[in-house]
């Protein structure tokens, strides 16, 4: 059982506080659920069924300062950006965001930014779906980094640029 209250990162909901466990009836079944409140949207509530290993495993502990430092220092290449088919590319980027692997997310952000600069130099624009994926990944990373590093969200990009 997860510690209550505690902060976790949950899928694309971002950083959430586990506020308790409640019994809820969705459909015909009554079950116990973790109650999560996304920090960026405190009026929202996410219910995660207890005993559902797949969904419970998606409640990840926040990174430590050291893990963030190492992640930023060793930014990987985002392989999904090599996909030429626009639909498949969008699907791959969406899957990366939904999986929530921080290494893949930071690789996506840095890869799309680099691609945007290359295209800009050629007088072209970035695909809308690539821009949207980058913005979503940035938001997830920025939120977690801001909480863990105890810095304002607008300083996260400067932190990344300083430590990569």
Q: How confident is the model at residue 161 (pLDDT cuts 50, 70, 90)?
A: confident
Q: Are residues 89 and 136 in the same domain?
A: yes
Q: Are residues 89 and 144 in the same domain?
A: yes
Cα 120–chain centre separation? 27
Q: Are residues 136 and 75 in the same domain?
A: yes
Q: Are residues 13 and 90 in the same domain?
A: no
What DSSP letter does each residue of 36-94 carry, written as one string? EEETT-TT--EEEETT-HHHHHTEEEPPPHHHHHHHHHTPPP-GGGG--SHHHHHHHHH
Q: Are residues 94 and 27 in the same domain?
A: no
Integer Rg of the chain from CA:
18
Q: Are residues 85 and 43 in the same domain?
A: no
Q: Are residues 31 and 87 in the same domain?
A: no
Q: Distance between CA atoms of 8 and 160, rounded to whole angstroms? A: 22
Q: How confident is the model at residue 82 (pLDDT cuts 50, 70, 90)?
A: confident
Q: Are residues 72 and 141 in the same domain?
A: yes
Provide the CATH number for the domain around residue 30: 2.40.10.170
Instruction: Supply the range of the domain harboring residue 35.
Output: 6-61
pLDDT at 29: 87
Provide the CATH number for the domain around residue 75: 1.20.58.1290
Q: How confident is the model at residue 94 (pLDDT cuts 50, 70, 90)?
A: very high
pLDDT digits (tens, 9 = 90+) for 129-142: 999 999 999 999 99
How distant, in Å, are the alpha carbons of 55, 68, 89 from that of 82? 30, 26, 8
pLDDT at 76: 82
3-state secondary structure of 2: coil
Number of folded domains in the chain? 2
Residue 1 lies in a domain: no
Return the residue matching tokens 């079950």.
Answer: 31
Q: Distance between CA atoms of 31 and 24, rounded to whole angstroms? A: 6
Statement: residue 59 has pLDDT above 90: yes
Residue 17 lies in a domain: yes
Q: Are residues 79 and 158 in the same domain?
A: yes
Q: Are residues 153 and 75 in the same domain?
A: yes
Q: Are residues 53 and 114 in the same domain?
A: no
């Amino acid at each position: 059982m997860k510690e209550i209250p505690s902060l976790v990162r949950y899928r694309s909901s971002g950083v959430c506080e586990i506020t308790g466990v409640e019994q809820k009836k969705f459909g015909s079944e009554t079950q116990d659920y973790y109650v999560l409140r996304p920090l960026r949207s405190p009026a929202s509530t996410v219910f995660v069924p207890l005993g559902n290993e797949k969904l419970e495993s998606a409640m990840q502990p926040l990174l430590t300062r050291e893990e963030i430092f190492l992640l930023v220092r060793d930014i990987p290449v985002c392989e999904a950006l090599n996909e030429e088919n626009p639909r498949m590319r969008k699907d791959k980027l969406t899957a990366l965001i939904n999986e929530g692997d921080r290494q893949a997310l930071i690789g996506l952000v840095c890869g799309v930014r680099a691609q945007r600069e290359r295209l800009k130099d050629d007088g072209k624009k970035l695909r809308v779906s690539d821009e949207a994926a980058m913005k979503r990944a940035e938001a997830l990373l920025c939120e977690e980094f801001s909480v863990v590093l105890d810095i304002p969200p607008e300083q996260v990009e400067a932190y990344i640029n300083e430590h990569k």
